[in-house]
Structure 1
Amino acid sequence: MSERKRQKRNNDNEKKSITITKFEQFPNELLLICFDYFDYYGLCQSFFGLNQRFDQLITYESKIHMDLESIPEQYFLTYCIQFHHLVMKSGKFPLSFQTNDQYRLDLMFADYFFKDKFSKLKSLTLQNIKVDSVYEFIFDKDTKLYENLQRINLMNIECEKSNSANLLTYNLISPKMKSLTYLNMNFQPCSPCKCGYNNGMM
């Protein structure tokens, strides 16, 4: 290797080292702002285990934004177990949740532990989910998501029966939704008839 190439590589390594050092020197408040741009899986994969300070911030102070689509299929169950452990340790609740996978939603919602931890949810985004599952998720009597949800995005919701879409729509615009400030939803056409609620925004 030529002296010039060796010097360039050394300079690049020094720059990387300096960048990492500067990031680690950020105050906790700034680090938490940066962490807020990650979903919880991405945050843990990127920063958990790097040092004790990051681990403490992620476990006890960072916000939990769950995006089930960011989790590779082969790691999904393993991550659920790890997430269970972290949340039990920290006592924190997810603030936002999104998925377009019916199976993963059903799997998590079937576990009472996860249902209990969703009770403080502020933002919900669901796509390609059955309308009955959406209704059960939001208006479950144990979690009572409807009391705290502030933002709801429902996209391409699968509508098998028109009365199911009507029931969901009626309840989403009812006084039950005490904290709701934003609602965006659209349904896939019901079969064999149309449900009449193709698009809606509040």
Structure 2
Amino acid sequence: MAQLRNTRSAVPKSAVPKSAVPKSAVPKSAVPKSARQKCKHTGTKFEELSAEIVLEIFDYLVAHEICNSFYGLNSRFKQLVSNATNVRLNLTRTETKLFRIFQQIFNEQHVISLELLYENINFLEIFSHPKRLQSIALYEVPLFAFENEIPALLDAFKYQLRDLHIVFSNMKFTGSGERAAQSFGYLLTELPFLTNLKLRSSNGVNSITYMPSTIVNNTIRSLTISIREMERLIPLLHRFQKLKVLTLYIYEFRGKKAQPAENIRYYRDQISEKTSMEYPAKFRHLNLHTMAYLGSVQKLLPLITPPTLFTLSFFHERAPVKRPIPRRQPPFLDGTQWHDMLKTFLPPTMKKLYIEYDDVDDTMSRTNPERVKKEFIQYYGENLLREVFFTYDKDTKLMSFDAHFI
């Protein structure tokens, strides 16, 4: 296997995710229930488990976790690691031992999932012949590369790719933005088995979404996308005909918007996008991440709430600069306001509501969770609420509310 050449600029380590699993530690969830029960009731030691069960455990771990936990134990486990058949490989941390000796441990034909930095994009070529790679995650991708390189690179995997995750380093498109939109259109129309798509950027991916309304997708079931302007949601959601799970990262635009150049305005005026939901979205689960408070959420929900909605999870993320909140009237503590919003915008099919805030400060009264819980029960009635959980951790400043409806 040829050694990779790092031909592009270095990427900060903070730009890519890090594994939460420490060295030589196997999470309990990684061990199938059948294996745990067998060990408990028969006194079987872990190292005495059959090869089939051990390989099943490996399916729950990424490659460097398998190496750190099992490769050096003994000759049997060394052989089992080498024979792992569903390898999920994370090469975003290029200084790791796994990156340097990967070809000595795993069979490249057994890799089903790959994560890597754009600077090492040529590594994809190694996996273009075996037809097992089903999931690709690319980090720190500049938009010019998305315009010019990504579709051609993905073409080798078009009949096997199920999951695609792209995190952009910038959203600076060339010309009118048409080439960026064409690359987005490629993802929607030329990957016939793609079911899970994630497109993320701290600035939102609005600029690549301007496409003719004829470009639609009938395979993607789960979509994760970051948007900065709410008005882009209607023409965007129209394109996903079979969507079941929508995860949105909404970043509010603050400040005066600059007018786009004339060539950009001309291109966008010619594409004839859908501006109304003539074909309403039919997804069942909505996960909403935003730094906006309840007033902005009320404006957003009419755009993204289909009549088929089953669960809503709302995550309030910490703002880069802490904005002042009225001490006595923080909107997220008002159970009646949440009730009125749900009654107005959310359909009767709703079965679960989850709300989470990660920046609740010391003005949070210890009595407020119980008060909000009582308000929900009062307005909905005990016969409509099956379970209500409300917690506040003063150390982590995390507040969560979980309501299950009958």
The interval holding the TM-score normalised by the smaller chain is 0.5 to 0.7
Q: Which residue of 2 aligns with 1:86?
A: 105
Q: Distance in 2 between matches of 1:133 and 1:146?
A: 18
Q: Which residue of 1 aligns with 2:119?
A: 106
1:180 aligns with 2:190: no
Q: Which residue of 1 aligns with 2:63?
A: 40
Structure 2: unaligned runs, 5 residues or longer: 1-38, 210-225, 228-235, 244-406
Report the CA distance between 1:68 and its aligned residue: 2.6
Q: Which residue of 1 aligns with 2:152?
A: 139
Q: 162, 167, 184: which is aligned to 1:169? A: 184
User: How many equivalent pairs are there?
Assistant: 167
Q: Distance in 2 between matches of 1:45 and 1:159?
A: 37
Report the CA distance between 1:66 and its aligned residue: 1.3
Report the CA distance between 1:127 and its aligned residue: 3.9
Q: Distance in 1 between matches of 2:151 and 2:70?
A: 32
Q: Distance in 2 between matches of 1:36 and 1:196?
A: 35
Q: Which residue of 2 aligns with 1:12?
A: none
Q: 97, 107, 113: which is aligned to 1:96? A: 113
1:151 aligns with 2:163: yes
What's the TM-score, normalizing by structure 1?
A: 0.66
Alpha carbons 1:65, 1:97 under 8 Å: kept:
yes
Alpha carbons 1:44, 1:58 under 8 Å: kept:
yes
Q: Which residue of 2 aligns with 1:10?
A: none
Report the CA distance between 1:26 and its aligned residue: 1.2
Q: Distance in 1 between matches of 2:202 and 2:102?
A: 33
Write out per-residue CA displacement over residues 141-197 of structure 1, whole angstroms, 9 at most, x where no aligned residue. Answer: 7x70222111122345632203343122110011x213212223244548xxx6153
Alpha carbons 2:133, 2:157 under 8 Å: kept:
yes
Structure 1: unaligned runs, 5 residues or longer: 1-17
The percentage of aligned residue pairs carrying the same residue is 19
Q: 1:83 to 1:146 in 2, by over 3 A?
A: same
Write out per-residue CA displacement over residues 60-80 of structure 1, whole angstroms, 9 at most, x where no aligned residue. Answer: 2342111234x4x5x33x533
Q: 1:85 to 1:131 in 2, by over 3 A?
A: farther
Q: Distance in 2 between matches of 1:134 and 1:62?
A: 31
Q: Which residue of 2 aligns with 1:130?
A: 142
Q: Which has the higher helix share?
A: 1
Q: 1:168 to 1:47 in 2, by over 3 A?
A: same
Bigger-Rg structure (1/2): 2
Q: Distance in 1 between matches of 2:63 and 2:49?
A: 20
Q: Which runs of 4+ in 1 moved over 6 A?
A: none
Q: 1:94 to 1:164 in 2, by over 3 A?
A: farther
Secondary structure of the residue aligned to 1:173 is helix
Report the CA distance between 1:25 and its aligned residue: 1.1
1:195 aligns with 2:207: yes
Q: CA RMSD for the aligned pairs?
A: 3.3
Secondary structure of the residue aligned to 1:29 is helix
Alpha carbons 1:138, 1:146 under 8 Å: kept:
no
Q: Distance in 1 between matches of 2:146 and 2:89?
A: 17
Q: 1:116 to 1:63 in 2, by over 3 A?
A: same
Q: Which residue of 2 aligns with 1:51?
A: 74
Q: Distance in 1 between matches of 2:146 and 2:49?
A: 41
Alpha carbons 1:157, 1:187 under 8 Å: kept:
yes
Q: 1:37 to 1:150 in 2, by over 3 A?
A: same
